[in-house]
Structure 1
Amino acid sequence: PSDAAYDYAARPGPVHDAVARISLTGRIGRPMITLHGTLDALLPIAVQSDVYARMIAEQGRSVLHRYYRIEGGTHVDSLYDTFPDRLRPILPCYRAAFTALTAWVERGEVPPPSGTVPRPRSGAPVDTGSLT
């Protein structure tokens, strides 16, 4: 039988219980920062991070979450050299987010509000990782 013929609904209760324990619910319990490029072709933002951010909000946990949509960011930075006029490297934003998350968790320094991070208007995008 192929994987496409897998009948999840027919699986026994313990299988459903195990999946429920690891399913995304939005009930986060610790500070979390999400970054997602607006031009991500591998994981479309509208059906991935936008959905999870709504789940977190519906669970009343938005106070623990920051969601930054990185304008011109894609899933991986390797395409930047091919389309520098349309894309921006997302790695500098990941670094900024990690620093912000560390400050939030260790020192209680709440990061900027969620929002879309515009492409830099000047300077080298590879050097710009601000979350504002």
Structure 2
Amino acid sequence: SIQDDEYIVDLGDRTVDHISKVVKRARTIIWSGPLGIFEIQNFSHGTRRLIDSIANSQAFSLAGGGDTVSAISTFNAFDKISYVSTGGGAFLRYIERREIPIVSRFRRNHFFSHHQ
């Protein structure tokens, strides 16, 4: 029922409840990106609930990207996330391929072996 000129800017309660249940069972959480326009209080519900779910889980949690870091900062939750990376694209690339292009290039050029 969303019209062409309307936007979804946050998650509803049922979706957030489902995500919270998944997070509660998880052993590892990888998070990249807020769930709504968290900078506006009326649209921060999903992001705030996700952070609460992560904080209350026993999982190892990784969070990455500038907007994610901003959300973590907004809700004062740095001590509730196991590891936070400011790199967004590089963070995801590393998770996907276990490499970061610039580091691979340095390795190929033997930069590290000559400058340690």
| TM-score where L is the length of structure 2 | 0.36
Q: Quick check: which one's helix share is greater?
A: 2
- Relative CO higher for 1 or 2, CA cutoff 8 Å, sep ≥ 6? 1
| TM-score where L is the length of structure 1 | 0.33
